Structures are given as structure tokens and as C-alpha cells.
Amino acid sequence: GDSVTQMEGPVTLSEEAFLTINCTYTATGYPSLFWYVQYPGEGLQLLLKATKADDKGSNKGFEATYRKETTSFHLEKGSVQVSDSAVYFCAREAGGTSYGKLTFGQGTILTVHP
Amino acid sequence: DGGITQSPKYLFRKEGQNVTLSCEQNLNHDAMYWYRQDPGQGLRLIYYSQIVNDFQKGDIAEGYSVSREKKESFPLTVTSAQKNPTAFYLCASQKTGMNTEAFFGQGTRLTVV
């Protein structure tokens, strides 16, 4: 079935460090891919998305490129801030009759220190 | 403002009681979802509905029930059959079709006391 695997956390970085959070997905069909962010005690917010191979999604300095050949959608940011501390979820769209339904990875906790 | 609203934000339940979590959206979305979030386990799908008066079980439906009588509303009942109900519950809505993002409510934290 559809699945998404994220790198295990938690990830702890100093401010202005480079961030990578790895995400790979099962290669059934050509799903849209998403990154969501969750701040403490809140729901999830869409961070960025990509709908086809080689698309790059970007928002707030974060980027992720849809890599069909490696079935990956790694999240990157060149210089993190304390305010980026949150939980990050990678997700893929389901296929078949459940089109649109999202399957999420387990989430990666990011903590950024001043 | 359009959005999705969950209530209450915090809920306490005694063992053996049923409790209903509210989810309302004014985004005119056809699809709605309920997820459960536990530490270190990500989001697990409980139930979803792609159209009024129809819904499907997700991965962990046992001990839960839902209804979808109106497009705007998708309440979740946590029954006494749910063995470990303490968790953070998230509701989401989405336009039907491909390549559409899901919009999430702020969540309800349920604690069994």
C-alpha cells in the first residue's frame, strides 16, 4: 500500500544551520507530495507541495524537489531560525478510488537553538 | 473567514463514557477526515468521508463512529469500546480530486480520567 518514510528525529540545530529532513514514498502511481508543519498544540499547516516529477515546491525559505527516480521529497532550508522549531510531516496523495486522501510520515521534530 | 473549526480544544472523559468531538468547515469541501495523533506515531486515519451521507473506515476505526449528515459537519464519537482513547484528534477537509491540499483544524486533546 501507500506509505511515506521520514528520517527519524528529533533534529536539533543551531540558528542559521542548514536543514535537511529526508522523505521517501512508495512509488505507486504519480502522487502529489506535500510537506506540512505543526507548531506546538496546533493543527497542521501546508508548508509546500509538488504535483509532478522534477517540480520544486518552496515557501518561507523551505524547498523540496519531487524526485521520481529516487522516490524522494527531501525538505531543505539554507538557514534555520528559532521560529522554525516544529514538527514536520511529509505526505503523499493516495491513488485509486481513494484519490486525494493523504498518507503521512511519522513526523520529524525540529528544535532550533539560538 | 473560511476555515475548519474543532471543538472543544480540551476534553476530559471518564472511563466507560462515550464522547463526541465536533468538526465544522465552511470551505465548501466535499471530503473530510479524522486523524489520531500519538507521540512518535504521526497521524493515523480513523474515518473519512468524500460525500454527504457516506463515509469509510480508515486504518484505526475500531472504537470510533462518525456521521456525515451535512456537508459542513463531520462529528467523531469516541466510544467506550476504544481501549486507549487519550490522544490528540485532528479533523481535516479537502476539495475532492487530485493535487489538492488538506486543511486542518486546531485539534482536540482528549484525556481519559
User: Which of chain B's residues have a Cβ under 8 Å away from the Cβ of A105?
Assistant: 42
In angstroms, the Cα distances linking B103 to A38, A65, B27, B29, B94 are 12, 22, 9, 10, 6
Nearest chain A residue to B91 by CA: give it: A43
* pLDDT grade for B113, boundaries at 50, 70 and 90: confident
Nearest chain A residue to B99 by CA: give it: A32
> Which has more confidence, B54 or A94?
B54
> Which has more confidence, A21 or A1?
A21
User: Which of chain A's residues have a Cβ under 8 Å away from the Cβ of B106?
Assistant: 42-43
Are B42 and A105 in contact (CB < 8 Å)?
Answer: yes
Average pLDDT rounded to a whole number, residues A26-38: 87
* pLDDT grade for A31, boundaries at 50, 70 and 90: confident
| Chain segment B67-87, per-residue pLDDT in tens | 999 999 999 999 998 889 999
Q: What is the total residue count of chain A? A: 114
**What local confidence, expressed as pLDDT, does residue A3 receive?**
87
A6 pLDDT higher than 90? yes
Put simply, the chain B residues between 19 and 38 with a CB less than 8 A from any chain A CB are 31, 33, 35
A97 pLDDT higher than 70? no
In angstroms, the Cα distances linking A39 to A66, A77, A100, B27 are 25, 17, 24, 22
